[in-house]
Amino acid sequence: MASTPTPSPQQPAPHHLSVSEHRSAAEHLSAAEHLSAADHLSAAELIDVVVDPESFVSWDEPVPDPAGDSTIDAGYRADLVKARARSGRDEAVVTGEGRIRGRRVGVIVSEFAFLAGSIGQAAADRIVAAIERATREGLPLLAGPASGGTRMQEGTLAFLSMVRITAAVRAHRQAGLPYLVYLRHPTTGGVMASWGSLGHMTVAEPGALLGFLGPRVFEALYGRPFPKGVQVAENLFDKGLIDAVVAPAQLPEILDRALGILVPASAAPVPPPATLAVRPATVAAWDSVLISRNPRRPDLRQLLAFGAIDALPLNGTGQGEKDPGLLLALARFGSQSCVVLGHNRRRPSQDNAMGPASLREARRGMRLAEELHLPLLTVIDTSGAALSQEAEEGGLAGEIARSLHDLIGLRAPSVSVLLGQGAGGGALALLPADRTIAAQHAWLSPLPPEGASAIVHRSVDFAPQMSAAQGVHGAALWAAGLVEHVVDERPDAALEPRAFCERMSRAIEFELSRLRVVPLDELLVARVQKYRRLGRT
């Protein structure tokens, strides 16, 4: 996030993972042609880079020497013997545990020098055993695949081993344990289509060839080369399939930050902030609307920069979509970790109104919060959802409905923040939460006041009157019980962005801390009741 402002000297700089450093796919059109396994780290070298010195302990049980095994085809037996000699390994994966900046982590790393990192039954046994051990011992897992896929010499049974590996990953994730993936050059076939694509967070090696079907196989089958630049890490990032492109040397820092958020230490209760005594602004609703539209008003990026201890952005839906209208991140406000999703404030030079892909990305964040047992923070600051043919054909209305459905039943504590503008279905889609914090001049309405005026009066000239009549401003939202916590502006957040964001972050930390001690079933009942009380019955 290159546009993130630099925090003040009084506050430690948050360590945002900058996406400005990622080169475009166009700069890597022939990357796969110039890279080979020899250009990249072996399993042992990657482990040495990532884990703390002398902390790695192998979990591998020895694989029997194939040299004297007459049950194996002679040609394959010879391949296995050569692979052992070439790689110095007895199989295509190395497993064990190590410490990353002091934290215990399970590790599964492919050894590409052993038959192109291909997965046969012995390798699959080793992977499954490692995942299950990490699950039993409550350890996060780092997977570093580099593989051509399943081992052709072992046929269908090797192919089917991807199912049991996936089942083990699923059980690990269902236990609420982080599964982090570092995709290395090359990762293709069944590995990419199973344990290589199931990470809570997935980053990749620069220039890595990543895809389902290897380009050499495609050309052999179809008689023409696969298009250049498609199966390159940077292109996958551009398409929202992976979260970042990271050199091996950067990986320990990224993993440390991710684990610092995903595996938070127990924290003492957060003292009540001064903002609990703040009440809504007494100005007219239209005045708040105008104040909220100031282009200098702090947005979500600044809230993370000035208010969060750390924020690690994620990228896209993981299913081939990304939308500039939404920001998804893992973050820590004071002692409280959370998944953050919120609107990217619309800029005059940008067309980043929230589209349907934004909400599919938001729902990825909701699933992460549930699975990782982290609270969810949603941040609302939008002039309205995208209005276009593409948004309609992409199912925007349905995505708003599904977002509401998921938030009202979210099996995780949730806090929503009304940061500025709150217009229409785009705002409503991120609103339902256990607690709602509002900036003093934030507002919420079915449409921008001008739109409401056009419907009722056939003219936008009555927007000020409509904003008052509709009760869009903080005072009305507070009176209705929708907003429980107000953060003051002195007198306008645009005039004091750093101080405002610091106050907001303390309010967020307090509300997250308060919710973490409430049983989840109680939260779910109270959440529904909160919105039921807004009705007339």
Q: Which CATH architecture has domain 25-261?
A: Alpha-Beta Complex (3.90)
Sign of CA dihedral 292, 295, 300, 303: negative
Tokens in use for 531?
A: 């919105």
Residues 6+ apart with CB under 8 A from 195: 108, 127, 143, 145, 162, 165, 166, 169, 181
The span from the first CA to the last CA of the chain, in angstroms, equals 46
Q: What single DSSP character describes residue 188?
A: -
**What is the DSSP code (8-state) at residue 364?**
H
Where are the chain's structural domains? Answer: 25-261, 274-532
CB 110 within 8 A of CB 145: yes
Token representation of residue 432: 């339902």
How far, in Å, CA of 379 to CA of 338, rounded? 12
Nearest to 124 by CA among 169, 80, 83, 88: 169
Tokens 């990419």 locate to: 192
Euclidean distance between CA atoms 472 and 380, whole angstroms: 14
- State residue 343 phi and psi, 5-degree precision: -75, 140
CATH fold match for the domains 25-261 and 274-532: yes
**3-state DSSP call for residue 483?**
coil
Which neighbouring-strand residues pair with 181? Answer: 143, 202
Cα-trace Rg, the chain? 26
Q: How far apart are alpha carbons 93 and 129 in whole angstroms?
A: 12
Closest CA to 378 of 347, 424, 422: 422
Helices of type H across 296-447? 300-307, 356-372, 389-393, 396-408, 424-428
- Evaluate whether 329 touches 527 at the Cβ level (below 8 Å): no
Distance in angstroms (rounded) separating the CA atoms of residues 198 and 209: 18
d(CA 46, CA 25): 24
* 410: three-class secondary structure by DSSP: coil
- What pLDDT, on the 0 to 100 scale, is given for residue 72? 86
Q: What is the pLDDT of residue 352?
A: 66
Q: What predicted TM-score, i.e. pTM, was given to this entire model?
A: 0.90
- pLDDT, averaged per 10 consecutive residues of the chain (537 residues), comes to 34 35 34 49 96 97 86 91 96 98 97 97 97 98 97 94 98 98 96 97 97 86 90 96 96 96 88 96 94 96 97 93 92 97 77 85 97 97 89 92 97 98 95 98 94 93 94 93 97 97 98 96 96 76
- List residues bridging with 435 in a β-sheet: 415
Beta-sheet strands, E only, within 13-169: 57-58, 93-100, 103-110, 141-144
| Structure token pair of residue 423 | 């217009």
Q: Are the C-beta atoms of residues 368 and 341 closer than 8 Å to each other?
A: no
The two three-digit tokens of residue 234, written as one number: 């940077």
Tokens 């977002």, residue? 403
The whole-angstrom separation of Cα 416 and Cα 377 is: 6
Q: Could you write out the DSSP letters of every residue in 130-177? A: HHHHHHHTT--EEEE--B-SB-GGGHHHHHHHHHHHHHHHHHHHHTT-
Q: Is the dihedral of CA 328, 373, 261, 200 positive or negative?
A: negative
The residues that bridge with 313 in the sheet, in sequence order, are 329
Go through the chain and tell me how many residues it has.
Answer: 537
- 274-532 has CATH 3.50.50.60 classification: no
Token pair 């957060």: residue? 270
For residue 66, what pLDDT is reported?
85
Q: How many CA atoms lie within 13 A of 32 on its CB side?
A: 26
